[in-house]
Chain A
């Protein structure tokens, strides 16, 4: 089966600019996650979708970050305006259902550099 697709693979922007990342999960996976991985740290959950509804966005900096999952399939994560501290790898993952027991499949991530 095809894996979790993410694009772009790399992105360099200046601070205060906007950027968007795209994720296409595995077909049939109802749950989609966006994680932020800052260099030297483990991934941190930003937002979790179940179909096209938000399950958990408690760690999402809502003043600058937004995410949507139209039609419950692919998803877009946006940052506007970007700050230097947003430099990180943004990982998308999907699973059949809500809960770690279903297992997560991760994409290869987007490396964002804010200069």
Chain B
């Protein structure tokens, strides 16, 4: 069984500042993947970043990076130089290599100009 927990229902950040969204997970899979998805008001889930659990190096995509702590089962997302377009709902998700994707409850990020 897999569970994903996001303990921050809402976060706010000033434009150009840095914000970190938290996520913890639990899984019995030995081969699994972790994801952060962005869901704007258009409702489409957009992949922000993904991390293979077997990789020790933290994934980075431009202004987005993760802090993956495997032993602590923690997977936080850092957004640097926040932009107004980053405002959205962010979901953390976990899935085994041959299994389904399980989502957290989401964090609503507001970006203040």
Q: Which residue numbers of A lie inside 8 Å of B, CB to CB?
A: 3, 33, 40-45, 48, 56, 89, 91, 93, 98-101, 103-104, 106-109, 111
Contacts and interface: CB of A to CB of B under 8 A. Distances in A.
Question: In this complex, which of B52, B93, B96, B101 has the most chain A Cβ atoms within 10 angstroms of its Cβ?
Answer: B101
A76 to B, nearest CB: 19
For chain B, the bracket of interface size reads: 20 to 34
The 5 closest A-B pairs by CB, nearest first: A42-B103, A100-B95, A106-B45, A109-B43, A99-B98
Interface of B: 4, 32-33, 35, 42-47, 50, 52, 91, 93, 95-106
A48 B47 contact: no
Contacts of B4: 42
B100 A45 contact: yes
A104 B105 CA distance: 18
